[in-house]
Amino acid sequence: MSEFSSIGLVGRQDNANIPDSLNSLADFLLQRQGVKIVVDEAVSGFMQGHSAFAEMLIAPQDELHLHCDLVIVVGGDGSMLKVASTLAQQNLPVVGINRGRLGFLTDISPEDLEQVLGQVLDNKFKEESRFLLDVSIERGDRKEEIGCALNDVVLHPGIAAQMIEFSLFIDEEFVYQQASDGLIVATPTGSTAYSMSAGGPIMHPKLDAVVLVPMYPHSLSSRPVVIDGESEIKIVVGDRHNMMPQVSCDGSVEFTAEAGDQILISKKAEKLRLLHPIEYNYYATCRSKLGWSQRPGSS
């Protein structure tokens, strides 16, 4: 018997493929005896035409844990990033149906939905936890929590193509002062995203580590640094050309900083519970998504 009897459906609102995918997914789930469907109210409008819509429960995203024991996210990796913090806070296991491009996090294709998702619902899956980063700002005597990131936290100049200046501290120890286009602080999950594009290393998701990747530093010796995942990171914004750099979490701008601001980054207590198909293999995913070469003679 499946351990999942009440299943939440979440998706992006700005993807034309989502309505069809959500309705097809609902059709499949309703074929399974005893399954109840809970729909995130943000996308409930996509499903009003479904024949069983009246039997579905509509709930706010932050209350899904009160009504379901599994959440299925329909969309690309960006869709998973947008809901990761909320679902981690609720300790809900999550499965991703890929309607995007890469699919590192949403790794079940629509073509394999019935077979692979059926296996997950039959308790044949792999579960792993992915940690997130909490971000806060200290300005004078005031401290403000500004966001959370599954992939990365980025300090960058915003729209102005100019260098910014900042000082980096790890566990209250001074590391360096730097002039650059910014700094990427990435989790292992985010090591195959923006961090990789900036020259950072790929880190296995099981690592308890964070990578700091400078963006076009004005120094030939500045390189990515991998640190312990439990480290407390502090970035002090410098006063350079009156720049007011921005802080982004998973690509969304959360805050515009000022000179003297202290950006504090640390591991979030709650983790994202990510479910994969039983045959999931991280290195196979890298071969597929990143174009790594196959073994000689393999198809």
CB atoms near residue 144 (< 10 Å): 10
Q: Is 77 an annotated catalytic residue?
A: yes
| Residue located via tokens 């729909």 | 39
- Global pTM? 0.93
Domain coordinates in residue numbering, the chain: 6-131+271-290, 133-267
Distance separating alpha carbons of residues 184 and 163, to the nearest angstrom = 14
Burial (CB count within 10 angstroms: exposed 0-12, middle 13-18, buried 19+), residue 67: middle
The single residue of 40, 77, 107, 250 carrying the catalytic annotation is 77
Who's near 220: CB < 8 A, 6+ residues apart?
A: none
Considering the four listed CATH numbers 3.60.15.10, 2.70.98.60, 3.40.640.10, 3.40.50.10330, the one that applies to the domain covering 6-131+271-290 is: 3.40.50.10330
Question: Which of 289, 291, 292 lies closest to 107, judged by CA?
Answer: 289
Q: Do the domains at 6-131+271-290 and 133-267 have one common CATH topology?
A: no
Residue-wise pLDDT tens for the chain (299 aa)?
568 999 999 988 777 778 888 998 999 999 988 899 999 999 999 899 898 999 999 999 999 999 999 999 998 899 999 999 999 999 999 999 987 666 788 888 888 888 999 999 999 999 999 999 999 999 999 999 999 999 999 999 987 678 999 999 999 999 999 999 999 999 999 999 999 999 999 999 999 999 999 999 988 889 999 999 999 999 999 987 778 899 999 999 889 999 999 999 999 999 999 999 999 999 988 998 888 876 766 55
3, 107, 110 from 98: Cα distances, Å: 23, 6, 7
User: What size, in residues, is the chain?
Assistant: 299
SS3 at position 7: strand
The residue among 158, 156, 162 whose CA lies nearest residue 240 is 162
Q: Please name the residues in contact with 48: beta carbons below 8 A apart, sequence gap of 6 or more.
A: none
CATH of domain 133-267: 2.60.200.30
DSSP string, 218-238: S-TT---EEEETT--EEEEEP
